[in-house]
Amino acid sequence: MSSVRSITLIIKTLAIVIGLGSTHVMATNFNYSNLEVGFTNNPSGLAGTGRFAFMDGAHFIVNASSQFEGDWIVSGGAGFQAPINGFVDIHGDARIYSVKFPEDDKHDFGELAYGVNVGVRAWVMPQIEATAIVGQVAFDSDDTRSVVELGGRFHSTDALSIGILYRANGLYKEQFYSNVRFEF
């Protein structure tokens, strides 16, 4: 019974803190309908991500990447987005993954996994965005990989932006990912 009260108290405290920090803004501060194409280094590769906001606060996401060494990471799922205040959004998603590592000879069509991610996007200056994402991808109960991404983005226009991310995750080695995003 004590743990239920503790959890209830934590939830109420978080709701009050978020409520006090939030402004009256109801819409998100960023566009969640876009197409992104990018390049990774060390190992070098190509990646693409598509997002489509299908209602206020929710979007679909599809992602694919490869080093072109008989490998791939393909994922798809749904996510949420919400403003914290007038400059910061919180977002997250749940996805199903198909992952084929270069050295994997056992899985012809990749290994199935599921993952969840949560992140923040913040305007640090006009046209400059900072972003952070953390998450996990689970292949089975014994194999879980962490995902951490930190980066920034320059919005040259309302429809075009360029970004760079540092990825430290268990799917590929640590790498930098530079990309171009087209908003629609």
Are 115 and 100 contacting, i.e. CB atoms less than 8 angstroms apart?
Answer: no
Cβ atoms < 10 Å from Cβ of 34 = 19
User: Residue 81 carries which DSSP code?
Assistant: E
Q: Which segments of the chain have a pLDDT < 50?
A: 1, 20-25
| 87/65 Cα distance (integer angstroms) | 30
Residue with tokens 């997250």: 92
Q: Please, what are the domains in the chain?
A: 27-183 (2.40.160.40)
pLDDT given at position 86: 92
Are 117 and 133 contacting, i.e. CB atoms less than 8 angstroms apart?
Answer: yes
Please tell me whether the peptide bond between 43 and the residue prior to it is cis, using omega within 30 degrees of 0.
yes
pLDDT given at position 24: 41
pLDDT given at position 9: 62
pTM: 0.82
pLDDT given at position 14: 53
pLDDT given at position 107: 74
Q: What is the pLDDT of residues 103-118, one digit of tens each?
A: 877 777 888 999 999 9
pLDDT given at position 78: 98
Q: Is 148 exposed, middle or buried (0-12, 13-18, 19+ CB in 10 A)?
A: middle
